[in-house]
Copies of this chain bind each other. A is one copy, B any other.
Amino acid sequence: MTAYDALLSHARETMALAQVMGRLHWDQETMMPRGAAAQRAEEIGALESVLHARRTDPRVSDWLAAAEAPDAAGAAQLRLIRREHARACKVPADLASAIARATSIAQGVWAEARRDEDVAAFLPHLQEVLRLRREEAAALGGDPYDALLDDYEPGATGADIAALFDRMRPRLKALRDRVLDAPAPEPLAGWYAKDAQLSLARDLAERFGYDFNRGRLDLAVHPFSSGGGADVRITTRVDPADPFNCLYSTIHEAGHATYEQSIDPAFALTPLGQGVSMGVHESQSRLYENQLGRSAAFCGWLFEAMEAAFGTVGAADARAFYAAVNRVGAGPIRTEADELHYNLHIMLRFDLERALIAGDLAPRDLEAAWNDRFAADFGVPVARPSDGVLQDVHWSVGLFGYFPTYALGNVYAGCLHAALGAALPDLDADLARGDPSAATGWLRAQVQRHGGLHEPRALIEQASGAAVSEAPLMEYLEAKFGALYWL
Would A20 and B16 count as touching, CB distance under 8 A? no
Contact residues of A: prevailing secondary structure: helix
Query: Could you tell me the distance between the alpha carbons of A17 and B50 in the complex, rounded to whole angstroms?
Result: 9
Interface hits, A31-87 → B, CB 8 Å: 31-40, 42-43, 45-47, 49-50
Identical copies in the complex: 2
Query: Could you tell me the distance between the alpha carbons of A194 and B68 in the complex, rounded to whole angstroms?
Result: 60
Would B20 and A20 count as touching, CB distance under 8 A? yes
Would A213 and B33 count as touching, CB distance under 8 A? yes
- A268 part of interface (Cβ distance < 8 Å): yes
Contact residues in B for A23 (Cβ distance below 8 Å): 23-24, 27, 43
Would B33 and A46 count as touching, CB distance under 8 A? no
Contact residues in B for A290 (Cβ distance below 8 Å): none
Q: How far is the CB of A47 from chain B (nearest CB, A)?
A: 6
Query: Could you tell me the distance between the alpha carbons of A46 and B269 in the complex, rounded to whole angstroms?
Result: 12
Name the residue of chain B whose CB is nearest to the CB of A13. Answer: B46
Interface hits, A118-146 → B, CB 8 Å: none
Query: How does the 8 Å CB contact mask read for A260-274 relative to B, with 1 for contact and 0 for none?
Result: 000000001100000
Query: Could you tell me the distance between the alpha carbons of A215 and B46 in the complex, rounded to whole angstroms?
Result: 21
- A214 part of interface (Cβ distance < 8 Å): yes
Provide a sorted-by-A list of 18 A–B residue pairs whose CB atoms are within 8 angstroms.
A13-B46, A16-B42, A17-B43, A17-B47, A19-B43, A20-B24, A23-B24, A27-B27, A31-B31, A33-B214, A33-B230, A34-B213, A35-B231, A36-B214, A36-B229, A38-B230, A39-B230, A39-B231
Closest 5 CB pairs of A and B: A36-B231, A16-B46, A35-B214, A35-B213, A39-B230
